[in-house]
Amino acid sequence: MLKIYGVYRSRATRPLWLIEELGIPFEHIPIIQGYRLPEPMAPGAPVNTLSPEFLSVNPMGSIPSMDDAGFVLHESLAITLYLARKYGGELGPKDIAEEGQMVQWSLFGATSIETPALKISATIAGGRAETEEGKADIEVAARTLKRPFDVLEKHLSKTGHMVGGRFTVADINVGEVVRYAQGYAPLFDSRPALKAWIEAAQARSGFKAMWDKRTAEPA
């Protein structure tokens, strides 16, 4: 059976959302990040990213990881692209050109959007958004996101989706990166196609099912 290692409050949301969309059976093994535990190596501590049991699966100690009937794979984007190609139907690529586009947009999200978007998310989550330092950090991150978000706005205004004019794994991979910046409304209010796209993706039953499980997890 397909196994996914990692808690919902991590990049594991990417494959876990995809699996909800696909409706395939799987076993969820909730490996928590070691840094979230006061004493991750103490006796009785939950299995975490520093535990020998998990390091035997992924020596890097990062989540998520996947075991598909003995085939082990790491890195969330690699996992989603693999699952979409194997099980995906309409969510996966129809041909090699679509596959290339799905890889391109997934890497675009990871390289051009994720770091500044995470800065916005972390600043807001840390309660610093209304401080002068926090406002400055968000403004810097928002300026960094201007070009990639403008690229997305232009693309989505023409196609409505990342690839193939339909919802695919590329929408999940990019959407879960863009989500980190959603706490800063001006980035979206000035880009109606981007705003409509992320809201439509998050209105899907697959996202809602994943998000309900994430919300139920301890913060």
What pLDDT digit, counting tens, does each position of 28-87 carry?
999 999 999 999 999 999 999 999 999 999 999 999 999 999 999 999 999 999 999 999
What is the percent of the chain with per-residue pLDDT over 70, rounded to a whole number?
Answer: 100
Helix axes 192-202, 132-159, angle to 10 degrees: 90
What is the per-residue pLDDT for 37? 96
Domains of the chain, residue spans: 2-87, 91-204
Distances (CA, A) of 114 to 149, 185, 186, 193, 219: 12, 17, 18, 19, 21
Spatial strand order of the sheet with 2-5 comes to 27-29, 2-5, 65-68, 71-74
Q: Give Cα separations from 40 to 29, 33, 61, 99, 197 (angstroms).
A: 17, 9, 13, 39, 39
Element (H, E) at 71: strand 71-74
At 52, list the tokens.
Answer: 């020998």
CA 49 from chain center: how many Å? 18
- pLDDT of 219 reads 85
Q: At 123, is the pLDDT very low, low, confident or very high (cuts 50, 70, 90)?
A: very high
Q: Where are the alpha helices (DSSP H) in 23-131?
A: 52-55, 76-87, 96-108, 114-125
Q: Residue 163 in 3-state DSSP?
A: strand
Whether cis (ω within 30° of 0) applies to the bond prior to 25 is no
pLDDT in the model for residue 116: 98
pLDDT band at 192 (very low <50, low <70, confident <90, very high): very high
Alpha-carbon torsion (142, 148, 151, 157), positive or negative: negative
Closest by alpha carbon to 143, among 196, 184, 183, 105?
Answer: 184
Q: How much is the average pLDDT of 175-182?
A: 98
The CATH classification of domain 91-204, taken from the options 3.40.50.11780, 1.20.1050.10, 3.40.220.10, 3.20.20.370: 1.20.1050.10
Fold of 2-87: Glutaredoxin (3.40.30)
Mind listing the pLDDT tens digit for each residue in 1-43?
Answer: 999 999 999 999 999 999 999 999 999 999 999 999 999 999 9
Please tell me whether residue 4 adopts helix, strand or coil conformation.
strand
